[in-house]
Amino acid sequence: MISTRKIVYLAFLTAISIVLTRFLSIRLPMAGVESIRIGFGGLPIILAGVAFGPLAGGLVGFISDLVGYFINPMGAYMPHFTLTSALTGIIPGLVVFYLFRQKRTFWTLLVAIGIGQGITSVVLVPYFLQSLFLVPIKATIIPRMIGQLIHIPLYTYLSMVLINNKAINLTKD
């Protein structure tokens, strides 16, 4: 059974992700389509996955993207990006919970977040931008790779700080 505490944490992480993604990020268009977004909207999604598991991370990512779209649409709704947002929480959660057996050290989180961001931000988003909007992959993949060289260690550090300082309570209810 899911606890009230966990529901509150996940709702809070969802709300933070929506605000960080939709209102506190910088959007850079390319060929008339938002190709690069600079911000920290993925951090709460990743944090949900590594703290509470892949299902929680997937739900936070899915709901954040869906609700965020209805609050502040940026073009037509594309379920491809909702899937990518859900995977942003699912993949690191799977790696931490099943590969590293819930050991949350800096290095395990770095690997988990690196794998997740590599798949979602560096591979899937450029692929979807190319297939949906004909934005060349070459034009988006290099900036995304450079951005993830900054985001991955930063997300890892912030996740460690929040988990270690008990901002996220991981005790069993």
pLDDT in tens, 144-156: 898 899 999 999 9
Lowest mean pLDDT among 65-69, 76-80, 117-121, 164-168: 164-168
Q: Mind listing the pLDDT tens digit for each residue in 15-26?
A: 999 999 988 887
Task: Tell whether 172 is covered by a domain.
Answer: no
Answer whether residue 170 is part of any domain: no
27 vs 154 pLDDT, higher one: 154
Which residues in 57-69 are b (16+ Cβ under 10 Å) and which e? bbbbbbbbbbebb
Task: Report the amino acid identity of residue 57.
Answer: G
Structural domain of 102: 4-164
User: Which pLDDT band holds residue 135 (cuts at 50, 70, 90)?
Assistant: confident
67 found inside a domain? yes
Residue 76 pLDDT level (bands cut at 50, 70, 90) = confident
171 in a domain, yes or no? no
Residue 113 domain flag: yes
Q: Rounded to whole angstroms, how far apart are CA atoms 83 and 61?
A: 8
What CATH number does residue 144 fall under?
1.10.1760.20
Q: What is the pLDDT of residue 27?
A: 72
- How many domains does the chain fold into? 1
In a domain, 173, yes or no: no
pLDDT at 117 over 90: yes
